[in-house]
Amino acid sequence: MAAGSRTSRNFRIRTQYIVLMLILAAAPGHAQWKPDKPVEYVVGFAAGGGNDKTARVMQKIWRELKWIDNVAVVNKVGGGGAVSYTYLNQHAGDAHYIAVAQMGLVTNQLLGRSPLRYTDLTPLAMVGNEPVGIAVRADSPIKDAKDFIARLKADPAALSISVGSTRGATNHFAVGAFAKAAGVDPKKLKILTFGGGAESVTNLLGGHIDAMSQAINNAIPHYQANTMRIIGLSTAQRSPTLPNVPTFREQGFDVVIDGWTVIVGPRGLSPTQIAYWEAMLEKTVNHSDWKKYLETFSWVWEFKKSQATRDYLEKEHDAARQMLVDLGMVN
């Protein structure tokens, strides 16, 4: 074959290869995805609460660093987050819609509040773990976890305990597991709910209830002001921002309850859409503003990618079901 013919043939082959690679790169299974219209960051609770703060801190980071220019936090309140998850799934396959999720993602279906299972959504990442603590007024005769349990062993309904706005969620699980670890029937506890953590605080400080089991951020300002005493944390280790507050485990009660937060998308997201949000969220939780947020509210830094989060939620589903049985809320 003449040199000119070989050169022409090689050129055609290289050209065909380049064209093929361009076609494959443009195919849905290979193309990198990124938002090309406004992103809705859905929050299932009212503005100003913990889930709302999480979304807005991330929104601020994304906007200021121009990682995502056009993102709006949208509050879809009701049903312990069920309204927000239902709304999210109305946008199947569209990664421009994401939401903050906590324990209600798992328990709503178990409790009959929603037909949606956690598997009906797409886990994108776990972004942190917020400790639950039990707090009393600073002038309470209850000084520590052992005092608290001694009262419950004498009479399981002796103490009125707020778990925030929802029974059968993380705050309720924490005090229920604490009671069970001490040999007290969790079904017999005197559990109260209010509109949210702020109302629990008001009622505790006002002397209308004996204790509250809450995400610890609700108690920290009052602990620092010496108007509340935190008798124990649900974490495996002490919080760096609360070095003088012992865990339940330290006090002889083997109780560890995760107050996890995950970010989810609607069902039917593609691998490239999931990969985009995994990378974005990993970058976000490593940003200094996010770490400062965690420190302020005594969160534990944690990050899991989509599949690891899915596996984690499966374990949480099984544990939550057992806890709901212990609490007498499901059979």
Instruction: Summarize pLDDT for 116-137 with one digit per residue, the tens.
Output: 999 999 999 999 999 999 999 9
CA distances from 199 to 46, 101, 125 (A): 14, 22, 31
- Of the candidates 149, 127, 109, 64, the one whose C-alpha atom is nearest the C-alpha of residue 329 is 109
30-39, 170-179, 210-219, 244-253: least confidently modelled range: 30-39
Residue 30 pLDDT class (50, 70, 90 cuts): very low
Beta bridge partners of 104: none
Task: Examine the pLDDT at 308 and tell me if it is beyond 50.
Answer: yes
10-14, 71-75, 184-188: least confidently modelled range: 10-14
Task: Examine the pLDDT at 216 and tell me if it is beyond 80.
Answer: yes
12-16, 60-64, 72-76, 187-191: least confidently modelled range: 12-16
The confidence score (pLDDT) of residue 25 equals: 43
The confidence score (pLDDT) of residue 198 equals: 83
- In sign, the C-alpha dihedral spanning 225, 229, 235, 238 is positive
Measured CA to CA, the distance from residue 124 to residue 109 in angstroms comes to 20
Residue 21 pLDDT class (50, 70, 90 cuts): very low
CA distances from 86 to 106, 260, 282, 284, 316 (A): 14, 20, 26, 26, 21
**Which parts of 155-239 are beta strand (E)?**
160-162, 190-192, 211-215, 228-233
Higher local confidence (pLDDT), 48 or 233: 233
DSSP class of residue 143 equals -
Q: For residue 101, how many other CB atoms are within 10 A of its CB?
A: 28
Residue 28 pLDDT class (50, 70, 90 cuts): very low
- Of the candidates 276, 320, 294, 323, the one whose C-alpha atom is nearest the C-alpha of residue 117 is 320
CA distances from 148 to 9, 211, 246 (A): 85, 9, 14
DSSP class of residue 120 equals G
Mean pLDDT, the chain, whole residue set? 90
Q: What is the arithmetic mean of pLDDT over 216-222? A: 91
Q: What is the arithmetic mean of pLDDT over 76-94? A: 93
Beta strand 132-137 pairing with 228-233: antiparallel
Measured CA to CA, the distance from residue 5 to residue 60 in angstroms comes to 60
* pLDDT > 90 in the chain, percent: 77
Residue 9 pLDDT class (50, 70, 90 cuts): low
Domain boundaries, the chain: 39-130+259-326, 140-251
Q: What is the arithmetic mean of pLDDT over 47-52? A: 84
Task: Examine the pLDDT at 6 and tell me if it is beyond 70.
Answer: no
String of b and e for 23-46 (b: at least 16 CB within 10 Å)?
Answer: eeeeeeeeeebebeeebbbbbbbe
The confidence score (pLDDT) of residue 14 equals: 52
Task: Examine the pLDDT at 13 and tell me if it is beyond 50.
Answer: no
pTM of the model: 0.83
- Which residues have CB under 8 Å from 199's CB, separation 6+? 162
Task: Examine the pLDDT at 217 and tell me if it is beyond 90.
Answer: no
Residue 18 pLDDT class (50, 70, 90 cuts): very low
Tokens of 308: 């690891």
Q: For residue 68, how many other CB atoms are within 10 A of its CB?
A: 18
Q: Which strands, in side-by-side order, build the sheet including 211-215?
A: 190-192, 160-162, 211-215, 132-137, 228-233
Task: Examine the pLDDT at 196 and tell me if it is beyond 90.
Answer: no
Task: Examine the pLDDT at 70 and tell me if it is beyond 80.
Answer: yes
Task: Examine the pLDDT at 55 and tell me if it is beyond 50.
Answer: yes
Task: Examine the pLDDT at 5 and tell me if it is beyond 70.
Answer: no
Beta strand 122-129 pairing with 260-265: antiparallel
CATH class of 140-251: alpha beta
The confidence score (pLDDT) of residue 31 equals: 66
Q: What is the arithmetic mean of pLDDT over 95-109? A: 95
Task: Examine the pLDDT at 294 and tell me if it is beyond 90.
Answer: yes
Tokens of 66: 């121009």
CATH no. for 39-130+259-326: 3.40.190.150
Are 39-130+259-326 and 140-251 the same fold in CATH? yes
Measured CA to CA, the distance from residue 329 to residue 331 in angstroms comes to 7
At residue 225, φ and ψ (nearest 5 deg) are -90, 5
